[in-house]
Amino acid sequence: MHFFRDPVQGGFPSKKDIHVLLGFRNTGEASLNVTHIAGSLRVPGQGSFYVANFTERAYNAVVEPGKEASILYSFSLDSQLAGHDCNVELAVFYQDSEELFSTTFFNSTVQVLDPVGVIDTKLIFMYLTVLSVLFFATYTSLHASGTSFPAATTLFKKTLPAILKKNKEAGFYSHHRVDEWLKGTAWTPHAVKRK
């Protein structure tokens, strides 16, 4: 019996440790030594074609007859495999005093997902490129046809200086209004040097 620590929904995320807990039960009459757990990644439908081998973890845990042991194994998937289906195979290796054994406890085709919390810079760059091309095409076509926005240009030329002047005056007056409540105290305003 095995159990994945994080729920597996739709596949395994890449670039993240995936933890699986193996429940090992000795139903025989002799003690068993769980030597290691290993895993591999294969192309679905082509069991002889290996994509990657996972790190082999040594345990050397002795399980007496009629007893159980829980063993944690972790592995990770390369982010370059994201978007592909792969066959994940995990096996436990154990031995008694005479023979070596192995049991595949997980063998399934899973989808490798994008890393969790990663921003796809390629997709953002593509969107920005498309928006830039559309903006440039619109501007070029309007300029070539002689169509422009004279009302917007005039409004911009008239209102921008007025807004800047009003903000400058508001800043000057608001400075004095802020200091107004300090009149009659020991505080003295610093003289503003004007050129």
pLDDT of residue 50: 81
Q: What is the CATH number of the domain that holds 36?
A: 2.60.40.10
Residues 65 and 46 in one domain: yes
Mean pLDDT, contiguous 10-residue spans, the chain (195 residues): 75 86 91 93 81 88 92 89 88 92 90 71 82 84 67 64 66 54 66 51
pLDDT of residue 177: 54
Quick check: helix, strand or coil at residue 71? strand
pLDDT of residue 37: 94
pLDDT of residue 161: 74
State the total domains in the chain.
2
Quick check: helix, strand or coil at residue 25? strand
Domain boundary among 113, 143, 161: 113
Cα angle vertex 77, ends 72, 82, to 5°?
A: 145
Which spans in 54-189 are helix H? Answer: 121-144, 150-179
* 33 close to 74: Cβ distance less than 8 angstroms: no
Q: How far apart are CA 13 and CA 117, in angstroms?
A: 10
Tokens at residue 80, please? Answer: 């370059």
Residues 23 and 40 in one domain: yes
pLDDT of residue 34: 94
pLDDT of residue 156: 60
Residues 128 and 56 in one domain: no
Residues 55 and 95 in one domain: yes
- C-alpha separations of 19 from 4, 87, 165, 183, 186 in Å: 6, 17, 64, 69, 68
Please report where in the chains the tokens 């009302």 appear, as a residue.
Answer: 151
Domain containing 176: what range? 121-182
Report the b/e string of 46-69 with b at 16+ CB within 10 A. Answer: eeeeebeebeeeebeeebeeeeeb
Q: Is residue 190 part of a domain?
A: no
Residues 105 and 40 in one domain: yes
This model's pTM is above 0.85 = no
Quick check: helix, strand or coil at residue 103? strand
* 20 close to 73: Cβ distance less than 8 angstroms: yes
